[in-house]
């Protein structure tokens, strides 16, 4: 699909602030794709679609998760995790995306995974570090993302898990598995 077609549908599916975030993720994804010599157009489309289902009705999202036999544990966690697998489903059904790399990157952009490809990491980190983000540590995350995707993932997952623990919120098992995977790489960086 062409960018302008995607933009129209995406903008209509979310509030203005979320659309600005989406454009920021697109910018960050393109920058990282250029830096790591990955497919820029694929990164652009994935970034634009990553939050397409963020405001999808809960009942319809739940129905997709159940009907498509996605991980049933998702329904035990906050609805904010649902939009990733539902977004991958909608990217395929509504936009005709058949590229598994795009669909998987959308699917894991909130929880991470122990089996993330470099493209998955790129989209996760573009979402985490987009220019509109201002949380403590984001500048360090941006620097790490341009240095080493694995080190940046470890930093981002550590920060996310710490944030959830401080708020007394549960951590999805895939996020813990991803964290453990990156810890076990024995990275030498400063994070």
Q: Up-side HSE of residue 64: CA atoms within 13 Å toward CB?
A: 19
What domains are there in the chain, each with its CATH number? 3-184 (1.10.3210.10)
Does residue 55 contact residue 23 with C-beta atoms inside 8 Å? no
pLDDT of residue 152: 97
CA distances to 23, 143, 175 from 6, in Å? 12, 30, 29
The mean of the pLDDT values for the chain is 95
User: What are the pLDDT digits (tens) for 75-104?
Assistant: 999 899 999 999 999 999 999 999 999 999
**Alpha helix (H) ranges present in 96-137?**
100-107, 118-129
Percentage of the chain lying above the pLDDT 70 cut = 97
Residues 6+ apart with CB under 8 A from 18: 51, 54, 55
């Amino acid at each position: 699909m062409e960018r302008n077609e995607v933009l129209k549908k995406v903008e209509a599916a979310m509030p203005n602030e979320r659309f600005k975030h989406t454009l920021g993720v697109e910018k960050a994804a393109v920058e990282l794709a250029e830096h790591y010599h990955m497919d820029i157009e694929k990164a652009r489309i994935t970034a634009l679609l990553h939050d397409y289902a963020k405001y999808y009705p809960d009942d319809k999202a739940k129905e997709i998760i159940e009907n498509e036999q996605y991980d049933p544990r998702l329904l035990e966690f906050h609805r904010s995790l649902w939009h990733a697998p539902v977004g991958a489903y909608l990217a395929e059904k509504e936009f005709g995306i058949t590229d598994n790399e795009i669909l998987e990157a959308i699917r894991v952009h909130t929880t991470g995974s122990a089996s993330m490809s470099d493209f998955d990491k790129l989209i996760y980190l573009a979402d985490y570090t987009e220019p509109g983000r201002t949380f403590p540590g984001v500048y360090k995350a941006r620097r790490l993302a341009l240095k080493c995707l694995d080190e940046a993932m470890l930093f981002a997952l550590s920060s996310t898990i710490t944030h959830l623990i401080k708020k007394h919120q549960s951590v999805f098992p895939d996020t813990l598995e991803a964290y453990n995977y990156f810890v076990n790489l024995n990275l030498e960086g400063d994070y």
